[in-house]
Every structure is written in structure tokens, then in C-alpha cells.
Amino acid sequence: MLGLLTIASAQNSLPAVDAGSDPNQATNAAPLTVTLQDAIIRARKNNPEYHAALTAYGSAKEDRVQGRAALLPSVNYDAGLLYTQGNGTPTGRFVGANGVHEYLSQGNVHQDISLQGIAQYRRTRAAEAVARARSEIAARGLVVTVVQAYYRFVVAQRKYDTAQRAAAQGQRFLDISQKLEQGGEVAHSDVIKAQIQFQQQQRDLQEAELEMNRSRLELAVLIFPDVNEQFSVVDDLQTPEPLPSLTEVQTAAARQNPDLRAAVGALQEARQGVGVAWSGFLPSLKLDYFYGIDANHFATRQFDPASQLSVRNLGYAATATLQLPVWNWGANRSRLKQADLRRQQAQLELTFTQRQLLAQLRALYNEAQTARSELDSLSQSAELAAESLRLTTLRYQSGEATVLEVVDAQNTSTLTRNAFSDGQSRFRVALANLQTLTGTF
């Protein structure tokens, strides 16, 4: 389950992006560099929901072991003493014992033979398969959660860097407009507009820093046992993964989808529940074999007054009990109806899961395909907006452009850079969501 999300092999060579510029986070030690795969591994160690699913799976495995043990013979050792007050004769006052003193020290081999035990064991096996599938669902869901938090932090850092650049550009443009005003080349209204734009960029910078710190904390809660903010992450969004064909995705989903396996396992469990209920109408057999001491003296041999001989106390006994159900006020029939209702519900849930899987698979694939196809367009838009800002600023300095054109170019440049980062993150998250249905491809 550790490889649920394919990570580009080149990510380890990419530079690490610092976790922030907050002076309160300064430390003498170098911050820990965390890759996406590291974050997933760390989250699996600390996430309580994921561990709850693993605990349920482990418990189901032990239920299967106990169900198998119930089908096999058991060996026990029994030891006891029945003490009766004497009355001067060998019989004693109470008839519950076979003498005044009766000692028990014997081994017992016990075996239950019934169809109920077999059906119960098969039900525990089906329940184990369901728990295993649900633990995989939890693992894949955790991957999506980590991917979202990880790339939210990466994108927040990018947007903070973009806001810093925009603020610096706003400061330079304000200086340019002031110099042009002093030379009588532009009106004072241009300076006012440039100052308003610069102040807005300063506020945007503060908001970007706030979002970066918030996303850092969200990721830290997921991957660390304590809230450790001294870490950096690897920005691997520059290397988008290829998207397989829809046919390959559908094949992988049919073979590796845990929701489908859980629904199939639940149906098998419900069917075995019907078998358990039916076994209540059938006879059961219990076998016991005893070997040891059941005598009036705690010894392997004792003196028999009647025969005047030393007799051996060690011996064996066997019992067989056949139980035939006759009447229990309709409880067995009620349990059978109850089990059949559960089987019908499990069958309905399986067919619904199959339909839902087909719909989700197509929707998530279309989402990933669209996000992947838009990356080139978003990249070109960001490059064009940056070039437009450079040219518009030059035109403004030469008196060929207005202040509104410069402001619009600045805003467009910021928006397109942020949109490109959002698009890269969107594709990675869409890929992670798709892999919850298919597994790694």
C-alpha cells in the first residue's frame, strides 16, 4: 500500500522550497526537507483514521483465526476436588460425589461438529476480506488528503513569491510614475492610481503569507506527531505525470478497486450469514474424550478395600452428544429472515457500487484529462502576461500607454501565474483521486 501514488523519479533532484519567511521560525538547524512520498509515509504513521482501519483489519484477521480454531479439536486440562462431609461410612452425607472425597485431574479433547461453525468460519473470512479492502480505501483516501495538503502548501508558497514580485513591480511602477510626474510627463492621477495599486499589492502579499502559514500548519498536523513547522517541501509540479488511456484506467479499476472488493466481500459475508442462520435448523454433534484421574484419592494407584488389591486410578472416558433443534419459539426462522434481508441489501449495494464506480471513473478521468490538457495553455498565458507587463511598462515610460494599461497588465500577470500553479496542483490532485479507484498506474 506504500506505492499508491506514482511520483516522478526526477523529483528528488528538484530544489526544495523553503517553508516560509516568518522570522519566528528561525532556527540554527537546517529545516527538514519533505518530499511527497515522505509526507505520505509520515502521515500513515500519525493519522488516526487510517490506523483505525488497520485496527479493524487486524481484528478481522483475529476473528478468522478464532473461527478456524473453533472448527478444530481443543485440548484442556481439568483439575478439581469434590469434598463431602463424612458420616463414618464411605458414602458421605451428600450424593453429589462418588465418595467422601473425589479428585479430578484429567485432560479433555473436545470437538464440536456442526454446519454453523463452518458457515461462521467462512463468514469471518469474508469479513476479513471486507476489512482488508476498507483498509486500502483508507490508505488511498489518506494519499489524496496528503496530496491536497502538500500541493496546497506548494502553491501557497508560489503565490507568496508571486505576491512579492507583484509588490516589487508595484513599487517600481510607483517610482516611475512619480519621476514622470516630476518631469511633467504624466498627471498626478497616474501617481495616485499607482499608489492605490501598490497598496493593494501589499495587502495581497499579507494575505498570501497568511495562506502560506495556514497551509504549512495543515500539512504539519498531517505528517508530524507534533506541530513541527521547521520543514521545507520539494516543488515537483514542474514534472507532470503522463495520463494513461481510458481503457487502461478501466482495466486497472476492474482489477484493483477496493470499493468493489469491499462490496463483493460484504455480499459473501451476508451469504454466509444466511448459512449460519440455516444451521440453526440442523443437528449438531459434540465429542469429548477424557484421560486422567477421577477417583477418591489423588494418586495414580490406590488400595481397594473390597478386593484388597492396589488398583490403577488412571483411565479414560468418552462422551458424544447429538443435539436436535425442536422448538425455540420461532427464533431460528427470525434469524433466517434477518440474514436474508442483509443478503438482499448487500446485493443491492454491490450493484450500486458497480454503477457508481463506472460514473466516478469517467468523471475523475475527464477531470484529470482536462487538467492535464490545460497545463500548456496556462503556462503560455503566464509567459505572455509577463512579456505583456514588460512591454506595457516600457510603453508607459515612453508615453505610449496609460496607467490603467499598466495596472491591468500587472493584475493579469499575477492572475496567470497563480492560475498556472493552481492548474498544476489541480492535475496532481485529480490524478490522486483517480488512483483511489485504480491504484497506481
The pLDDT tens digits of the residues spanning 160-197 come to 999 999 999 999 999 999 999 998 888 999 999 999 99
Question: What rounded mean pLDDT belongs to the chain?
Answer: 88
AA identity, residue 36: L
Number of neighbouring beta carbons within 10 Å of residue 93: 11
118-144 pLDDT per residue, tens: 999 999 999 999 999 999 999 999 999
Q: Summarize the confidence of residues 407-420 as an average pLDDT.
A: 96
pLDDT at 318: 93
Q: Which CATH class is domain 35-72+114-282+325-438?
A: mainly alpha
- Which pLDDT band, with edges at 50, 70 and 90, does 302 fall under? confident
Residue 216 confidence (pLDDT) above 50? yes
Length of the chain (residues): 441
pLDDT at 19: 41
CA 75 to chain CA centroid, nearest Å: 40
The whole-angstrom separation of Cα 323 and Cα 326 is: 9
List residues bridging with 292 in a β-sheet.
Answer: 106, 315
Q: Summarize the confidence of residues 271-300 as an average pLDDT.
A: 90
Residue 28 confidence (pLDDT) above 80? no
Q: Summarize the confidence of residues 339-344 as an average pLDDT.
A: 96
Q: Summarize the confidence of residues 90-96 as an average pLDDT.
A: 54
Q: Summarize the confidence of residues 99-103 as an average pLDDT.
A: 77
C-alpha cell at 300: 495414580
Percentage of residues of the chain with pLDDT beyond 90: 71
303-338 pLDDT per residue, tens: 877 777 888 888 899 999 999 999 989 999 999 999
Residue 92 confidence (pLDDT) above 90? no
pLDDT at 20: 42
- Which pLDDT band, with edges at 50, 70 and 90, does 29 fall under? low
Domain boundaries, the chain: 35-72+114-282+325-438
Residue 16 confidence (pLDDT) above 50? no
pLDDT at 207: 97
Q: What is the DSSP string of 153-219?
A: HHHHHHHHHHHHHHHHHHHHHHHHHHHHHHTTSS-HHHHHHHHHHHHHHHHHHHHHHHHHHHHHHHH
Unique residue bearing C-alpha cell 483489519: 57
CA-based Rg of the chain, rounded to a whole angstrom? 38
